[in-house]
Amino acid sequence: MKPARFDYVRAETLAQVHAVLAAEGGDARVIAGGQTLLPMLSMRLARPKVVVDIMRLPELAEIAGDGENIRIGAAVTQQQLLAWPELARTVPLLAAALPWVGHAQTRSRGTVCGSLAHADPSAEIPLALLALEGTLELSSRRRRRVPAAQFFTGLMSTARADDEMIEAAIFPCRRAGHGYAFQEFGRRHGDFAIVACAAVAHARGIRLAVGGVADRPIARDYSDIDGAALDDALDEFAWQLDARDDLHATASYRRGLVRRLGRATIEEARRCRA
């Protein structure tokens, strides 16, 4: 279980990263914490020609907030974000979701943006970004912003072009009168979610995002419904996610969890709002 050969670039400037990505395209892989990439390299599931290390770029290591959003640079680890004293106050949903990401021993090097780049359908950070309607900052020789809803295009597939890197993720801050909740169920703590739910409750209604079921996180917005109307909506959502059976859970079980956990998460978000 040893990786195949690749070149390694210890990037010192963003321009260098962009240059390698422009030259090598899909044969290049950005490495930040490497917590997802390394097993793929070792299992030889991934065989890039060149790996570009971005962890030494100081401009990517920042968490910056402007009251509206927080901007998390591509080299910020999950642990650094979790330890950021402002987190629970500014982005409570992220504060609730992050402890579910892997284990402390992988959060210490795994980055927030790395998880977004990988776009695992069960991952918590993409789910949180989608629930909050955040954005990604992509850069190559040009620069663009892509809303989460358009970024995740399928299983481990994103709108990032081969010559682009994720430079930062932008999470909207907590809004007055909004309640946030995150709930997840996996076989063991730290496992990939079988179903994960992120909910935002506000005056006009609710937004529920679900991970672990479809090939990417999916969100829906509802007016302020409850009771049977909410049951119906959740049932419809559960069916529309096109759940599949796998080793750990049946499709029907996943749909059941979407209904039950989805409701519990919405209720929790509503309580937080109150």
Query: Which residues within the stretch 162-191 sit at the binding site for another protein (CB under 8 A)?
Result: 185, 187-191
Report, in Å, the least distance between residue 128 CB and another protein. 18
Region binding another protein by CB under 8 A among candidate stretches 62-70, 88-96, 104-112, 135-143: 104-112
Q: What is the DSSP string of the chain?
A: --PPP-EEEE-SSHHHHHHHHHHHGGGEEEESS-TTHHHHHHTTS---SEEEE-TT-GGGS-EEE-SSEEEEETT-BHHHHHH-TTHHHH-HHHHHHGGGSS-HHHHTT-BHHHHHHHT-TT-HHHHHHHHTT-EEEEESSSEEEEEHHHHEEETTEES--TT-EEEEEEEEPP-TT-EEEEEEE-SSTTSPPSEEEEEEEETTEEEEEEESSSSS-EEEEEES--HHHHHHHHHHHHHHT-----SS--HHHHHHHHHHHHHHHHHHHHHHH-
Chain residues 193-212 in contact with another protein, contact rule CB under 8 A: 194, 205
Q: Does 103 engage in binding with another protein (CB under 8 A)?
A: yes
Half-sphere exposure at residue 66, Cβ-oriented, CA atoms within 13 angstroms: 7
Restricting to residues 124-163, name those near another protein by CB under 8 A.
149, 154-157
Contacting range for another protein; rule: CB under 8 A; set: 67-75, 103-111, 139-147, 168-176:
103-111
CA–CA separation, 152 and 230 (whole Å):
26
Does 253 bind another protein (CB under 8 A)? Our answer is yes
Interface with another protein (CB under 8 A), residue from 59, 86, 162, 236: 236
Q: Is residue 102 at the binding interface for another protein, with CB under 8 A as the rule?
A: yes
CB of 219 to another protein, least distance (A): 9
Task: Name the one range near another protein by CB under 8 A: 67-75, 114-122, 136-144, 171-179.
Answer: 114-122
Q: Which residue number, 50 or 65, has a Cβ lying nearer to another protein?
A: 50
* Closer residue to another protein in complex, CB, 64/229: 229
Residues 10-39 that bind another protein (CB under 8 A): 10-12, 16, 19-20, 29, 31, 33-35, 37-39
What part of residues 255-274 is at the interface with another protein (CB under 8 A)? 255-257, 260-261, 264
